[in-house]
Chain A
């Protein structure tokens, strides 16, 4: 790559534009000796550029002061939160593929920071769910099984149909008298009374 410094030939005055381009690196202390000499040569004979450099220096010194690193409030101390997050990551990697791992998938990494304060609560919820499932399974095991319910016979439709058919059949085989007897009793019975 062609170096910028090679554009500046010793003994040849640089333009105002080129001189101003060097102000930034000069103020940042990043000019190589060759370009430094070229700038100084130009500044020696150019009052306008000397004044411009002075202004630039004032502006960027002020900016540098304003952008200096400042002390961050204690509430933004990251030591504990990073340690908790690392713990969370390690639990996650241990639980990969397990039920807890699946539960963790419900909480994307972007929401982790928000969840962090209630991490113990999340664990409690997971525990409660597991206990709930266990109780459910245990109560299922205590339910009477098929051998204890053998006396109960499910009535099927064919049994019901044949019972009705028998009723209808018995009625159709009866004569008129039999029907009368059925509902009002026999003449004989009446007579006897």
Chain B
């Protein structure tokens, strides 16, 4: 069952079809919010809110773009609004038992030219220095693997606007990582 088919069933009143949507996208959504907020509990709570908003709007849903574009548009708006409501990012550290292994390469890999970044906390701290829009764009690009066009649809910016935003975000992130002793040189 595709996302579109599931949404069509949900609009007709088949609640069980929504389980398919939740099961399929919860991991990506929690990852997005976890990178965004730095806290797994907050991430789960915000993800649940996204699913509920989508459920409430089931009758108005039009399959114009990919379902994930729509999903992350709701998520992006919630992330930005949540931060405005809180006035500051949620920087509560992840408990040790909840810490997720985020590093896949413990050593530098000369073959692929990939550099290992030592701890997830370093990235988290650096990410928190970005403004909400920059952070969201970086996550959509690197965690969700979206193209600039998809990010543009999820954030409501132009493709050129997304490109500028990502250039700015990467420059800032690079400087923040270098401040924390992470550099490519």
Residues on A lying within 8 angstroms of B by beta carbon are 1, 3-4, 21, 24-25, 28, 30, 54-73, 76-79, 81-83, 85-86, 89, 113
| B residues neighboring A (CB under 8 Å) | 15, 18-19, 22-23, 26-28, 30-31, 34-35, 40, 43-45, 47-48, 51-52, 55-56, 98, 100-105, 112-117, 120, 123, 138-139, 141-144, 147-148, 158, 160, 163, 166-167, 170, 173-174, 177, 182-185
Sample (26) of A-B pairs whose CB atoms are under 8 Å apart? A1-B160, A24-B166, A24-B167, A28-B141, A30-B147, A54-B113, A55-B185, A57-B113, A58-B184, A59-B177, A61-B112, A61-B113, A61-B115, A62-B105, A63-B177, A66-B102, A70-B31, A72-B27, A72-B31, A73-B100, A76-B30, A76-B44, A79-B19, A82-B51, A82-B55, A83-B19
B62 CB, nearest partner CB in chain A, Å: 21
Main secondary structure of the interface of B (DSSP, over half): helix
Kindly state the separation between the CA atoms of A113 and B18 in the bound complex, as whole angstroms. 19
B104 contacts which of A24, A57, A65 (Cβ < 8 Å)? A65
With A21-B167, A66-B103 as contacts: A59 and B44 at CB distance below 8 Å: no
For A67, give its contact among B47, B138, B166 (CB under 8 Å): B138
B139 touches A67 (CB 8 A): yes
